[in-house]
Structure 1
Amino acid sequence: MATNRQTKWHGRVEGAKARCSVRGCRQPGEFRAPLTPSDFDGPGTWQWLCLDHVREHNAKYNFFEGMTTEEIQAAQSPIAGWDRATRAFAHVGTDAGPAWRDFADPLDAIAARFRPEALRQAVDRFTAKERHALGVMGLQDDTDLHKVRKRYSELVRRYHPDRNGGDRSHEQKLRQVIEAWQLLKVANAFT
């Protein structure tokens, strides 16, 4: 009976001349694995491992080791880095456009630049934090309090462990939804 072995592996260096770095292993070292992590001072040091030992190495690797919960959440954020202030550009003959700091999503800021004036005023009815809370709840700037309340109810039912069969993996999302509701229910835009 012939064995079907996969010949293409992600990360394999074909024709590598080194042996596996693990003592006593006679397999060819076809995979590069970091011995020390790279940093901003340059690349780290590498070792060559066989397929079995690189799998063992990868199973132990934890990118988030030594980080706090807040640092992990910041590293996983899809908009990491967009919350910094940017320098002002000259705008000769045009209006200044929206302030980037007023938007949680950079694409919303770009889109706001090209909206008609009436729609721009609708965006301004919420503060940056309120706009972020709307984003957490999956709502747009043209919503009313009734829609916010309805969406809050749907999300609590989806994420609360008592309502979703005891699944506690969504507690962080539930916390964000509750905080968003607390902020939006007293928003000036709804008074």
Structure 2
Amino acid sequence: AEEIMEAQSPINVWPSETRAFRASGSVDSPPKWADFKDPLDAISTRFRSRMPKERADGQFLSPEDRKALKTLGLGEDADRRALRSAYSAKVRAYHPDKNGGNRSYEKALQDVIAAYTHLKTSPAFI
């Protein structure tokens, strides 16, 4: 009987947490629907400054793509040639053979290799 009363309690009606709002009443990030094509800019104008910039060629970049570009020190409009040259420069800078066997850059080297491996298969760079 106690389990039934507990299950029917108004406290258990909404078991999941709701999205938190700031004291000013605005949300932390734009809603999922804010990136649709809005001809009158009635909805997406509020979040335009926080929306990711589009590439000049119109290709879509995922958040993982943007993170990988940042790891390589490239901007969003980088092309495949810039990607390869930045990768080569970073590998030369972080490789232990170029640092006298210093392994302190090993994590950075792994991050650069992972970023390049991700980006070279990304649809924006094929």
Structure 1 length-normalised TM: 0.40
Contact 2:91–2:112 (Cα < 8 Å) also in 1 = yes
Conserved? CA contact 2:30–2:47, under 8 Å: no
Are the aligned partners of 2:71 and 2:111 in contact in 1 as well (CA < 8 Å)? yes
Identify unmatched segments of 5+ residues in structure 2.
1-26, 35-40
Match of 1:148 among 42, 59, 83: 83
Residues 94 and 190 of structure 1, relative CA distance in 2, 3 Å threshold: same
Whichever residue aligns with residue 80 of structure 2, its letter is L
Once the two structures are TM-superposed, the CA of residue 127 in structure 1 deviates from its matched residue by 0.8
* Structure of greater Rg: 1
Q: Does 1:160 align with 2:84?
A: no
Q: Which sections of structure 1, spanning at least 5 residues, go unmatched?
A: 1-84, 99-108, 114-119
| RMSD between superposed Cα atoms in Å | 2.9
**Which residue of structure 2 aligns with residue 75 of structure 1?**
none
Q: Is it true that 1:97 corresponds to 2:47 in the alignment?
A: yes
Judged with a 3 Å threshold, the aligned counterparts in structure 2 of structure 1 residues 175 and 94 are, in CA distance, closer, same or farther, namely same
Instruction: Note closer, same or farther for the CA distance 1:93–1:129 as it changes in structure 2 (3 Å cut).
Output: same
Question: Are 2:73 and 1:138 equivalent residues in the alignment?
Answer: yes
Report runs of 4+ in structure 1 exceeding 4 Å deviation: none
CA distance in 1, matches of 2:30, 2:61: 23
Higher relative contact order (CA 8 A, sep 6+): 2
Structure 1 pair 142–87 and aligned structure 2 pair: CA distance change class (3 A): closer
Matched to 1:153, the amino acid is: S
Aligned counterparts of 2:29 and 2:76: Cα–Cα separation in 1: 26
| Greater percentage in helix | 2
TM alignment of 1:16-95, pairs within 5 A: 86=28, 93-95=42-44
How far apart, in 2, do the equivalents of 1:88 and 1:151 lie?
32
- Are 1:157 and 1:164, in contact at CA under 8 Å, matched by a contact in 2? no
- Corresponding residue of 1:127: 62
- Of Structure 1 and Structure 2, the greater strand share is in 1
1:184 equivalent to 2:119? Answer: yes
Instruction: Give 2:100's aligned amino acid.
Output: G
